[in-house]
Structure 1
Amino acid sequence: MVTTTDKNRSGPRSPFDVAVLLLMIGTTLLIIWLSLTYRSFWSAHWPSYSDMVSSLPQPSAWLRWLMGDISEVAFYKHEFASIGLLAGAYLAYWANRTRRSWQGFSISYGTGLWPWLITSSLLGLLLSNALWGWTVTTTSWQPTFVAFVSLPAAMVLMFGGGWKVTINGAIMGAVFVTPMCLLIVNYVCNPLGLPAVIGNVLGMAVASVMAFLLCRYRPSLMKSEHPKTPPSSPPA
């Protein structure tokens, strides 16, 4: 009887569920391909952070850097950690959506906006690396991850779901947050010998205030097409 209830409660998979599953499968296949392609160099162990930055700007190194940005905020930049974070977040969202008894507390403050939130954050991360990736060198770390963990997610939580909020939040994250952090880290923290985390947090705060002020005077930028609690079907 319990099994039947769980099946009914789960319902059919949404396009978002299918997209996440395909993304996970594609990522796994990509890792397998990289392992086979570079097995002569990686025979002893998976390449380290030093191996990655020394290989820049090779595409495989940039891919690892981009994926590692997802877990950079936890001070552990690695593609496996990033995959685990995304998989765990999706599991938490799925458990909450299907009302599993073991779900724990609701992800994204119980708003149900996680699909929009993660979409905006990932788009912001891609734009951030596309615009500012040139600042990363073999000897200089740069905070290209900050757009993923700040403004895009805040915009979605503040203004609700919808493609307008999702895309504009991602753009503002890459245009406001990343350059602000780059300026503070490289021209304030590094010369004064301060930890880079100070510049990252300060840059995210200042840039977010600027973005929210812009939205206050130009509300059309963030006029949501959906209510703050989105419909049951997440974005494809």
Structure 2
Amino acid sequence: MTTAPSTRPHSGALALWPLVAAICLLAALVWTGSLPDVAPVLDVIASAAGEPNFYGSTLAGLGLLAGGLLAHRLQACGRRWQGFAQACGSGLWVPMLASALLGVAISNLMWGWTMSDGAWQPLFAPFVSVSPTVVLMFGPDMKTVLTGGVLGGVVTPPLSVLGADVICPWLGVPPVVGVTGGMAMGAVIAFAVCRHLPWLPALPHLRREPEPQPPVIAETHGPAWLLRRGLADFSEAQFFGSEWASIGLIAGVVVAYLLDPALPAYGSGLLPQILAAQALAAVVAVLLWRRQWSRRPFYPTFVPVVSVAPACVLAYGGTPASIFAGAALGAALGPPLAAAISSRLPADFHPFIGNVAAMALATAVIVPALQPLPGF
């Protein structure tokens, strides 16, 4: 993965001001009555952090952010139990998060009208695509945080909405195909634009190798590491990739389910089946591709956790066959496809593009192909 200059956790205090500005702007629009449907907008912003996992829950998003903050503090203090480094090991978790949340705020301010009939729309898309990756590629400067937030909020949502609402029904594939495909296309456009923005720093100066981390030889590739890595993959789509963030995410959505089983997972009532499929996909993917983890600093084993596995559960009603097939096939196909696409991208395009492209392709191939089989 491409990282920023240092792996030391960045304070990023100044990077939070664009987020504060976005919140003030939203509050002003609410105060003046420019946003008549305030509740759906605020709910999407609050739950955006958990949307990539198919949870659609405010508590899940808040849990992820709380766990991510804990992991950031543990990493900043050099604690033994800090877990996997967040923000691709760059130390830029705070400015990355500021840009991601700014992108979501802009997304809702610009494209919230698409929810006028109460329909769900993937306005969370900037949170896990262009906005954070611009910061990860070009650093934590104020202009970079703003650039990521604006590009993510303006470019990505309409493409994901078009994919989910128009293209996917026409093709007969799950909406996640359109959402992630829109993210990939939006990122290609955004990073092409970044080439011509004079205020962004020159990329070669930012493509340094991360500082070496203290080795953990005893459990590097043993059972404990496998379980930790599988757990961390639950929050990798948000560029957290931390066990603590994942624990907060899962705990939040479980609490939401216990309070009202009809709320999480878009009212499907299939949260237990989704969690089962995701856990199985995470463990199988890490187990299958453990050698790749030993050879590389990162391998996209998280891809089926937020695409094929939950999409298969929703498509086929959470049957046992849909849980096992979605997890196993997604774990087998998704990570190597993502790695292959990412390795062929231009140097100034963040490799996450390969990950979301693989999510779209793998889901479009696997989920419809299962329909004629028994148990689906």
Q: Name the counterpart of 1:215.
A: 194
Residues 191 and 140 of structure 1, relative CA distance in 2, 3 Å threshold: farther
Structure 2 residue 120 is matched with structure 1 residue 141: yes
Map 1:5-24 onto structure 2 (within 5 A). Answer: 16=13
- Quote the offset at 1:193 in angstroms: 2.6
Segments of structure 1 that go 5 or more residues without pairing to the other structure are 1-13, 24-55, 230-236
1:103 aligned counterpart, secondary structure:
coil
Q: Could you tell me how far apart the structure 2 residues matched to 1:97 and 1:208 are?
A: 30
AA in 2 matched with 1:66: I
TM-aligned CA distance change 1:140 to 1:192, over 3 Å: farther
Match of 2:147 among 168, 173, 192: 168
What CA distance in whole angstroms lies between the structure 2 residues aligned with 1:58 and 1:214? 33
Between 1:59-68 and 1:138-147, the stretch displaced more is 59-68
Matched, 1:62 2:41: yes
Check if 1:119 corresponds to 2:98.
Answer: yes
Give percent identity, aligned residues only: 38
Is residue 12–residue 94 contact of structure 2 (8 Å, CA) maintained in 1?
A: no
Return 5+ residue gaps in structure 2 as ranges: 1-10, 21-34, 209-376
- 5 Å matches for 1:32-181? 58-181=37-160
* SS state at 1:69 partner: helix
Distance 1:124 1:160 in 2: 16
Aligned structure 1 segments of 4 or more residues deviating by more than 4 angstroms: none
Offset at residue 60 of structure 1 (A): 3.6
Q: What SS is found at the alignment partner of 2:106?
A: helix
Question: Which whole-Å CA distance do the structure 2 matches of 1:111 and 1:185 have between them?
Answer: 32
Does the Cα contact within 8 Å between 1:168 and 1:221 map onto a contact in 2? Answer: no
Deviation for aligned residue 1:140: 2.0
Partner AA of 1:79 in structure 2: T
Does the CA-based 8 Å contact 1:93-1:107 persist in structure 2?
A: yes
Counterpart secondary structure, 1:140: coil
Q: Find the residue that maps to 1:184 and give its secondary structure.
A: helix
Deviation string 1:190-222 (CA, Å, 9 cap, x unpaired) is: 233321100111111111011111112x14142
Q: Secondary structure at the match of 1:206?
A: helix
How far, CA to CA, are the matches of 1:79 and 1:87 in structure 2?
A: 12
Query: SS in structure 1 opposite 2:186?
Result: helix
Give the residue type in structure 2 aligned to 1:169: G
What residue number does 1:199 align with?
178
CA distance in 1, matches of 2:40, 2:108: 13
Task: Say if 1:121 and 1:148, in contact at 8 Å, map to a contact too.
Answer: yes
- Kindly state the Cα deviation for residue 153 of structure 1 after the two structures are TM-superposed: 0.9
Counterpart residue type for residue 174 of structure 1: G
SS at match of 2:47: helix
Whole-Å separation in 2 of the counterparts to 1:125 and 1:62: 10
Cα deviations by residue, 1:1-49 (Å, 9 ceiling, x for unpaired): xxxxxxxxxxxxx794xx8xxx9xxxxxxxxxxxxxxxxxxxxxxxxxx
